[in-house]
Every structure is written in structure tokens, then in C-alpha cells.
Amino acid sequence: MDFSVTKISESFVKPCEPTPCNTTLPLSSLDKFPTLRATLLETLLVFKYGQEPEKVIKAALSKALVHYYPVAGDFSISDQGELEIVCNSRGAWFVEASVDCRLEDFNYLDDPYVIPRHYLIPQPPHVVEDPTSIFFAFQVTKFKCEGFVLGMRTSHLMFDGVGGAQFLRAIGEMARGYTQPSIPPIWSRAEMPIKPQFSLPNSSPMPLPPPPSSSALMTLQRKFIDIPPHQITKMKNKLINQKCSTFDVLIAKLWRSKLRAIKTNPDVLVQLAFVVNARKYLSLEGYYGNCLYMKEIETSCGKVVNGSFSEVVELIQDAKRGLASEFSAWVSGGCKAKDMIMKYEKLIVNDWTNIRFEDVDYGWGPAMSMILVEDVPALPSCLFTKTPKMPNGVRIVSSCVREEHMEEFIKQMNDFDD
């Protein structure tokens, strides 16, 4: 289908009131970890209706930045060689665009690739040498039907998923007439006890580009897989006298499907890792920086591919049961950082189903859907989000197998009788 996207305006949006300026703020050691500080998360929110959304959201962003003023800053290097935030009110990047078609012409982006992402994601200004120095960017793209798509590029140095959603909610609240965010933001990066769990050979304080070697060698393929609620229930019903969550059965299904698809030697040790929001262990309401813990499970490939589905779920549940004590030991220095080994057999899973980016309301109700459109990551990984059209279903954004293994991987994922 032919269409045309027109960029109408672009500028930095500054806080609408004076904020602390010419001051610096420290980052946590986790924020400064190279694979986080070089990552820009790119997402789309699809809205069926909005009245002058570019004006409303731009004004609300300006108000929210008063409370989140570090987001309007830049990074610098301290005299000690440490990466830090300089508060200079440069602003967040904002782009207004329009499309000469209706959202329904694209089935409301049910196919995330129907419009190339560079048309909908804000591109950094040419005057900025390092795109990672812009911590937050918005693009409001209006369609002829009065619907719009909100494209976002957020820095993982500034936010994790929970923190980014908190900031978006604050913008929505400003758009709806709030004078203060319902969750007051806190910085507290210097007091953050979580340290990186993995070590890398390069310890340069400046942001690094994503490692090209691993993704180039793995050539991972992205696939969107929607799991309907009745299939989730079917997997749970297999587990007699074993209570489990949707996360438990989906991660077990993914792990088995991937390893069966790539036909790993049964005797090889394989690793599964899943991301944990550590705020519940630290009582940090309002913290919007990186507050993540990576839980790893290691076992033989044979136990995953040849064992029963119930046994794989039990492996995951055992790992979850020991999280609190393991996290406490890590914070107290009882564990050493591990080398980050980029193996094809590895799988990293992150669950965004409870973050609910799509619930953000700018005055016209929540979004129809949230779509992740960033580059395929360097490590084999999957992200869980809500499905656009199936309540209680889960969309898996999969980037965990090569092209030659994709057909078998999808076959395994669609087999719910095993």
C-alpha cells in the first residue's frame, strides 16, 4: 500500500518551569553497565482517537519534565572518570508527523512491520553526535482517521521498563490536568545497592555501541507469536496438583521449543535467564532507574527437551522460590560477577505484561496496543507483552533463533499437545 509520512515539526521540549540547572547527578553502577547504557528502547503505542494529540502531549511532556528534570539533561564524565548526568534543561526530543492514510488501512498495526519503523520512531537531530545522549524522544504521528501512533525512543541508562512506564503515566496525568504525578519520582542512584551481575572486558565510562559481533554471528530472527488464553489454560491444566502462573508455563514452553528446534546435544549445559523487578526487595516506590536482577537457571539440555513439561515448570518455580535469599546475598556482596558469555543456546526472557505501557491515558482512553520495534538484540531473548486483540492473551516478541531454525521453532511453539 502506498502512503506518505510528512514530518511537520521537531524540537527539544524543555521543562515548563525552572528546574535545578548546572548540577550533576550520579548514576548507579547498574545504569552504567555497557549493554544497558548503550541501549535505546523503541516502542509504539497505537491510539484509535485523539484531539490535537501533538499539542496535548507536548504540553504534558513539558510539565512532566519539571518533576523528571534529569530526563531533560545530558551525560558527562566526572573528574574521576565516572559517567554522570548533567542537568542543563536541554529537553526531550519531540517530533510531530502525519500520514495520508487511516489507521484501519493498516489494521491498526496488527502487523508491526506494515509501516517501516523509521517513519514512526523519532530520529535524533543531526546536531547530536551521540543518539544515546537523548534520554527520551517522542513522535506523534497523526492519521486521517483522527487516530495516532506515539513512537518512543527511551534510554536504558535513564529508565528500565518499570521506570519508563512510570514516566509515561506521569505525562498522561499532566495531560489530564494533574498538577503532581501520582507517584513522586526519586533519583537515589548513588544509594542503589544493585551492582551488575555480569562482567565485560571493556570498562570504558562512555556509552558504547551494541556489540556487533554476537548479533552478526547469530543472525537472530524476530517473530511475533500470539498465545491465546485458552492455550495458556490448556498448558496449566497439564500440571496436576501443581499451581503455576502464566509466566511459568510460557517460559517453560519457550525454553523447550527453542532447544528442540536448534537440536542441542542433550548433554550440553544450557542457561535460561529471566529479568526480575527488584523494587519489591528494596521498597523503592518512585525509583525510575534500572532496578533489575537477572535470575539464571542452568541444567542439561536433555532435562529440558526430554523431561516432562511439569518437570521444566518445576525448574522455573524452584528458581523463583530462591530469589529473595539469592538477591539479598548478591546485594551484600556474597556473589561474584559472572562473565557474560554470548551463547546461542542461552535464552533471556523479560515479562512486560504487568508494566502496561498501553494503559497510559492522555485524555482519550488507553492505547489499543503497545508494540516493541527496536533492533533484534545481541543475545537470544524473548519479551512478553499483552496481545492487541485478545484479552488475557500474551504476545511473545521472540528473537531467539536463527532463520534456519525458525520453522521448527514455530512448529514446536504451536504444538500444545506435547
Inter-axis angle of helices 403-413 and 246-262, to 10 degrees? 140
Are 238 and 403 in contact by the 8 Å Cβ rule? The answer is no
Q: What are the extents of the domains in the chain?
A: 8-175, 198-354+374-413
What confidence tens digit (pLDDT) does each residue in 372-416 have? 887 767 789 999 998 877 888 999 999 999 999 999 999 999 998
List the catalytic residue out of 31, 67, 156, 248: 156
The interaxial angle of helices 246-262 and 309-321, nearest 10 deg, is 120
Which residues make Cβ contacts (< 8 Å) with residue 139, sequence separation at least 6?
Answer: 94, 95, 96, 97, 120, 121, 122, 150, 151, 152
What percent of the chain has a predicted confidence (pLDDT) above 90?
A: 64
Catalytic residue status for 156: yes
In the chain, the N- to C-terminal Cα span, in Å, equals 40
Considering the segment(s) 198-354+374-413 as one domain, its CATH architecture is 2-Layer Sandwich (3.30)
Same fold yes or no, 8-175 and 198-354+374-413: yes
The winner for highest mean pLDDT among 91-105, 197-211, 342-356 is: 91-105
pTM of the entire predicted model:
0.89
Which helix (H) or strand (E) is 316 found in, with range? helix 309-321
Q: What whole-number distance in Å separates Cα of residue 361 and Cα of residue 60?
A: 12
Active site residue 417: no
Confidence of residue 341 (pLDDT cuts 50, 70, 90): low
Catalytic residue among 74, 105, 226, 361: 361
- What is the overall mean pLDDT for the chain? 88
Distance CA 9, CA 123 (A): 12
- 8-175 folds as Chloramphenicol Acetyltransferase (3.30.559)
